[in-house]
């Protein structure tokens, strides 16, 4: 037992360490990680834990009998007597719904044949049966509790599945045409194996044959684990996106089969195409997530089945990991990238109803939308469930140029809201300013993907937190190193999402809600509107305060698509990404009243490059900004001065990577070629800690924002709440700086064109080589972190606070929860009540969200605490141990030097 505990401790410790690193790097992961930052962190922990933990350790935490306890707990909560069936061979199954109903679902739970059914399995299946009953569809569910590895190896589980089907037909007298087999993961594999055994042509030779008088009504297979090899390409491309890994699957398969020889029942992808011709089932639905490592094997099998079986529907849900709809990760609905909390009513039921009814799928293998409409019944469980296909249509909003339909969703705490995902706010013409979207008279929905703009990620980010060994620099990035382009990526990416409380939308003629517009970060080269989810925590917090918030998140062009510049020519329009943001702000001001929003109570909110973008908007000479927002929340604002010589150098590198010699040639390239060039330029970003692209000066943005703030050129009637994290620069600090010479060279490359005098001030006076801790650092890496953190981020917060305190009202805060590095505060900003925390202190998250929500709705940040935000020279501190006033830890002396911009 001691060894088991030690092993569990090591496994948990390793998983937590890996998860912390994933949380830190999540904002910059591009397309290589989970669809949202929260999901990315959650799946990283799961993948690490299951990839390391033994079956013995897993079953110590989740004993095989825990499925019985979960079932009994559910029945007890419903004041229902548990009804457990025990068959002649010892097989057990649990009844839910009405055992006397004509129509029946036989459910095979997943869990790699070694993890017992979780409470979420029971809650979701029970919710489906309950909801169907409300719609006059009486149905029973018989839930198989098959024996687990290592106590029982294959084909024991197949025999149990066949025995249960035999019991239902021969003992209970159910007609096969009223029965659906349903399963997820290994349970879907078991359902497919049972179907293969029931086929007249090839019953399993070690299990008694069972003949059917007619076909079963249907089979619902969610993320079937049907290939026990790990050589498919999706095991590589989705390795960092899924909650399971080749390592865990390999160990589980070995434990399941032992010395048993693989056959076509155990590895269905090895079966010939003709194997599927006589399957005794009328309709088959296969659902798979686009981020699954099993994706390729599932799609391959589906092709085979579709060739021989007349009615196979396959749905690939973009950006969902393995069995996400029923996995208890607390990932909440967010447009077409919806995740579901196990145990919530919007789990598997929501997956079927919302996804299929709203058409938020990509339909592969030639399946048409018309065919989908005809099969809604099956998608919910069978054609038996058809009445749900005629549910009342979700609300719509008429924008004049199009009509957009919402999805109606609920938070875990019960707040109902409308999700308007992928509303087109502009048309992005390549290398030109945005124009209004085209007129489209058809009703638009979220679509198959949560659209994002072309992305890039610097290679240096992958080195953060990793030992560099003998490396002397960041390895170069080649085409072979680039991840596949996410299918949600498009140059036509000027879309936004609107999330509005249902009651606000219903009262939109009589009531106006405050609005917050989220501008995502990502170094001006990465990120997208749904990166952190829909801001449900802010919406719920505002409602608890007796007010309301509508949350809007926007895309804008990135990298060379949004920030390519040529200081010597007007042919290239500068700052297209900022122009996109301005276009979105104007869209919100014009249309938000149609959702119940007040166009005169708008807050812009952004972090990192999003916060830096807001600094450009606040200091723009463009008069049209003045009515577009009244408040701003600026978190860790990242700006960098990009002089003309750097713009020229970047332009030439773009030409080289794209294999062209002129801007005209560049404009004519395919989107694939341009995206590849962008990814290569960003991937090879130098120096360490930079992103290549970003805003530059032009007629609307006449100078570097810190300079303009110092000169008094800004929107002085805006209220500003600005914050930074204590250790902003750690993420960007090069591990290759070993001495004073390395440090001086890095500073010179960060600020090309810097004079020798200014360089000496930085290296000798502001950040001298005294490594005693006197100046806030004890080694060269810390010295670099202080330099970058202050010059590019935390001093920007200081500049904002000082400027807006002179003209209006400003509120400043510091986030100091360890490790307090760049972007880790966003898990607090976007925490959703009731979710798994992944290290978030729920109390502090609630306090912070109350400050934010009240500032958005009233202009005053308060949270019913004895000390609210200071307006003097003190700063508000957010920490787990305390929340209150403190002395600003930013060096005002160093910041004032940076604001003079003598480094240019």
CA-to-CA distance for 568 and 704, rounded, in angstroms? 19
Strand ranges of the sheet holding 312-317, from the earlier edge strand across to the other edge: 84-86, 92-97, 139-145, 103-108, 179-184, 216-222, 281-289, 312-317, 362-363
In sequence order, the 6+-apart residues with CB closer than 8 A to the CB of 507 are: 596
For residue 581, CA distances in Å to 577, 608, 609 come to 6, 15, 12
Residue written as token pair 């009515």: 627
Annotated catalytic residue, options 349, 409, 540, 728: 728
User: Are 770 and 783 contacting, i.e. CB atoms less than 8 angstroms apart?
Assistant: no
Q: Please say if 409 is a catalytic residue.
A: no
Cα 93 to chain centroid distance, Å, stands at: 36
Q: List beta partners, residue 443.
A: 403
Beta strands per DSSP E along 475-531 = 495-501, 513-519
Q: List beta partners, residue 407.
A: 419
* Best CA proximity match to 282, nearest among 383, 370, 354: 383
Backbone angles phi, psi at 517, to 5 degrees: -110, 120
CA-to-CA distance for 429 and 664, rounded, in angstroms? 15
CA-to-CA distance for 222 and 296, rounded, in angstroms? 14
Q: List beta partners, residue 362.
A: 316
CA-to-CA distance for 799 and 802, rounded, in angstroms? 5
What radius of gyration do the chain's Cα atoms show?
Answer: 29
Range 804-809 contact pairs with CB under 8 angstroms and sequence separation of 24 or more: 804/714, 804/716, 804/718, 804/719, 804/720, 805/871, 807/714, 807/716, 807/717, 808/716, 808/717, 808/718, 808/719, 808/720, 809/719, 809/720, 809/859, 809/871
For residue 307, CA distances in Å to 215, 376, 474 come to 19, 22, 48
C-alpha torsion sign, points 381, 387, 392, 396: positive
CA-to-CA distance for 302 and 646, rounded, in angstroms? 51
CA atoms within 13 A on the CB side of 340: 28
Beta strands per DSSP E along 728-782 = none
Annotated catalytic residue, options 513, 514, 553, 608: 608
CA-to-CA distance for 52 and 428, rounded, in angstroms? 46
Range 148-151 contact pairs with CB under 8 angstroms and sequence separation of 24 or more: 148/59, 148/64, 148/111, 148/113, 148/114, 148/115, 148/116, 149/55, 149/112, 149/113, 149/114, 149/252, 149/255, 149/256, 150/55, 150/114, 150/255, 151/64
User: Are 631 and 719 contacting, i.e. CB atoms less than 8 angstroms apart?
Assistant: yes
* Best CA proximity match to 468, nearest among 760, 220, 688: 688
Q: Please say if 769 is a catalytic residue.
A: no
* Best CA proximity match to 583, nearest among 715, 427, 700: 427
Residues with a catalytic annotation lie at: 608, 728
């Amino acid at each position: 037992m001691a060894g088991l505990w030690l092993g569990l401790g090591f496994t948990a410790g390793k998983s937590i360490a890996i998860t912390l690193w994933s949380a830190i790097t999540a904002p910059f992961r591009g397309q290589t990680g989970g669809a949202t930052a929260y999901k990315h962190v959650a799946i990283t922990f799961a993948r690490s834990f299951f990839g390391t933990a033994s079956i013995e350790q897993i079953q110590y935490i989740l004993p095989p009998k825990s499925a019985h306890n979960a079932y009994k707990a559910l029945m007890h909560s419903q004041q229902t007597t548990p009804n457990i069936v025990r068959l002649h061979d010892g097989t057990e199954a649990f009844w839910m719904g009405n055992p006397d109903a004509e129509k029946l679902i036989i459910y095979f739970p997943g869990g790699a044949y070694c993890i017992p059914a979780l409470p979420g399995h029971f809650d979701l299946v029970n919710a489906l049966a309950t909801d169907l009953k409300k719609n006059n569809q009486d149905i029973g569910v018989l839930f198989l509790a098959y024996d687990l590895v290592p106590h029982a190896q294959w084909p024991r589980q197949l025999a149990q599945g066949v025995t249960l089907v035999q019991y239902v037909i021969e003992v209970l007298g159910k007609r096969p045409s009223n029965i659906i087999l349903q399963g997820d993961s290994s349970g879907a594999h078991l359902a497919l194996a049972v179907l293969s055994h029931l086929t007249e042509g090839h019953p399993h030779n070690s299990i008694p044959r069972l003949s059917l008088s007619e076909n079963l009504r249907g089979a619902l297979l969610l993320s079937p684990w049907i290939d026990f090899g790990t050589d498919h390409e999706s095991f590589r491309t989705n390795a960092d996106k899924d909650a399971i890994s080749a390592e865990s699957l390999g160990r589980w398969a070995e434990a399941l089969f032992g010395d048993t020889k693989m056959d076509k029942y155990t590895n269905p992808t090895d079966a010939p195409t003709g194997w599927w011709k006589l399957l005794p089932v009328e309709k088959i639905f296969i659902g798979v997530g686009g981020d699954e490592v099993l994706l390729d094997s599932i799609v391959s099998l589906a092709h085979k089945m579709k060739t021989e079986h007349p009615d196979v529907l396959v749905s690939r849900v973009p950006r969902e990991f393995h069995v996400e709809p029923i996995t208890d990760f607390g990932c909440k609905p967010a447009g077409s990238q919806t995740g579901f909390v196990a145990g919530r009513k919007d789990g598997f039921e929501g997956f079927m109803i919302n996804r299929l009814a709203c058409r938020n799928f990509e339909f592969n293998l030639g399946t048409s939308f018309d065919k989908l409409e005809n099969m809604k019944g099956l998608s919910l469980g069978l054609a038996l469930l058809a009445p749900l296909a005629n549910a009342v249509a979700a609300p719509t909003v008429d924008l004049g140029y199009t009509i957009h339909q919402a999805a109606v969703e609920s938070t875990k705490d019960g707040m109902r809201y409308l999700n308007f995902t992928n509303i087109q706010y502009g048309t992005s013409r390549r290398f030109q300013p945005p124009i209004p979207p085209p007129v489209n008279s058809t009703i638009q929905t979220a679509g198959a993907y949560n659209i994002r703009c072309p992305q890039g990620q610097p290679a240096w980010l992958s080195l953060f937190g990793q030992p560099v060994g003998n490396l002397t620099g960041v390895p170069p990035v080649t085409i072979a190193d680039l991840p596949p382009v996410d299918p949600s990526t498009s140059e036509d990416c000027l879309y936004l999402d609107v999330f509005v409380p249902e009651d606000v939308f219903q009262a939109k003629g009589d009531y106006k809600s405050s609005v917050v517009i989220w501008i995502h970060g990502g170094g001006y080269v990465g990120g997208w509107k749904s990166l952190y989810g829909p801001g449900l925590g802010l919406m719920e917090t505002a409602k608890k305060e007796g007010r309301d918030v509508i949350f809007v998140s926007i895309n804008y062009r990135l990298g060379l698509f949004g920030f390519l510049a040529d200081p010597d020519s007007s042919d290239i329009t500068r700052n297209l990404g900022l122009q996109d943001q301005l276009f979105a702000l104007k869209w919100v001001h014009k249309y938000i009243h149609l959702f119940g929003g007040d166009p005169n109570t708008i807050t812009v909110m952004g972090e990192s490059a999003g916060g830096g973008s807001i600094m450009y908007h606040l200091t723009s000479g463009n008069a049209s900004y003045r009515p577009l927002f009244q408040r701003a929340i600026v978190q860790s604002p990242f700006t960098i001065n990009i002089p003309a010589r750097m713009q020229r150098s970047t332009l030439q590198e773009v030409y080289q990577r794209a294999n062209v010699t002129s801007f005209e040639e560049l404009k004519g390239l395919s989107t694939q070629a341009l995206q590849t060039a962008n990814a290569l330029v960003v991937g090879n970003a130098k120096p360490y800690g930079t992103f290549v692209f970003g805003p530059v000066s032009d007629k609307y943005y006449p100078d570097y924002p810190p300079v303009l703030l110092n000169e008094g050129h800004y929107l002085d009637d805006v209220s500003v709440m600005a914050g930074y994290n204590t250790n902003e620069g750690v993420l960007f600090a090069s591990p290759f700086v070993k001495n004073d010479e390395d440090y001086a060279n890095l500073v010179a490359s960060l600020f090309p064109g810097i004079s020798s005098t200014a360089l000496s001030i930085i290296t000798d006076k502001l950040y001298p080589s005294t490594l005693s801790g006197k100046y806030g650092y004890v080694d060269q890496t810390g010295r670099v972190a202080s330099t970058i953190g202050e010059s590019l981020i935390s001093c920007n917060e200081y500049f904002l606070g000082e400027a807006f305190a002179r003209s209006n009202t400003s509120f400043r805060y510091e986030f100091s929860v360890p490790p307090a590095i760049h972007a880790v505060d966003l898990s607090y900003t976007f925490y959703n009540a009731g979710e798994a925390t992944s290290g978030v202190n729920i109390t502090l998250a609630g306090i912070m969200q109350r400050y934010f929500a009240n500032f958005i709705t009233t202009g005053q940040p308060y949270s019913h605490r004895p000390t609210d935000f200071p307006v003097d020279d003190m700063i508000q501190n957010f920490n787990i141990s305390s929340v209150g006033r403190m002395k600003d830890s930013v060096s005002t002396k160093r910041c004032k030097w940076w604001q003079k911009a003598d480094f240019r």
